[in-house]
């Protein structure tokens, strides 16, 4: 039987990653929302930049949850959720998933310990910002 690990991302590490995402967004004059969830999809940290609109709040949470719950980035999730693909329409499960970029897993010692969701810029920029923040 496989042992379930309880390694999870800390609040301190979550805030550091979010701050890196915000710093990267500022370079491009984007106002984003950034969310960190643990491996179970539970909210750990959240920040909304002052001029970010409200819509990306829910999107950033869903991007992070998608990556954490399925164990891979939301952009890759989206490739499998297209019409005719193996898991088409799965984004309607689990309270709503996101099937495009900006949700990135946070991995430690080969294990998903959480995920970052970035929303508020273009999808390509959300993905780029999230990748930079997680990999910094």
Q: What is the pLDDT of residues 25-41, one digit of tens each?
A: 999 999 999 999 999 99
For the domain with range 11-135, which CATH number is right: 3.90.25.10, 3.90.550.60, 3.90.1150.10, 3.30.450.150? 3.30.450.150
Domain boundaries, the chain: 11-135
Res 75: pLDDT: 87
| Torsion-angle region of 81 (φ positive above 0: left; ψ -120 to 50: alpha; else: beta) | alpha
Q: How confident is the model at residue 2 (pLDDT cuts 50, 70, 90)?
A: very low
- Structure tokens belonging to residue 63: 């991007």
What is this structure's pTM? Answer: 0.89
Res 95: pLDDT: 73
Q: 57 burial class (0-12, 13-18, 19+ CB within 10 angstroms)?
A: middle
Res 5: pLDDT: 56
């Amino acid at each position: 039987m496989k042992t379930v690990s309880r390694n999870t991302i800390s609040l301190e590490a979550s805030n550091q990653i979010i701050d890196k995402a915000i710093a990267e967004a500022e370079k491009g004059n984007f106002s984003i929302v950034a969310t960190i969830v643990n491996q179970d999809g539970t909210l750990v940290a959240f920040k909304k930049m002052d001029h970010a609109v409200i819509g990306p709040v829910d999107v950033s949470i869903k991007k992070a949850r998608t990556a954490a719950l399925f164990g891979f980035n939301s952009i890759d999730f989206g490739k499998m959720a297209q019409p005719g693909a193996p898991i088409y329409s799965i984004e309607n499960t689990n309270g709503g998933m996101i099937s495009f970029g900006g949700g990135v897993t946070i991995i430690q010692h080969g294990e998903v310990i959480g995920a970052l969701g970035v929303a508020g810029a273009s999808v390509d920029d959300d993905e780029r910002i999230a990748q930079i923040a997680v990999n910094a």
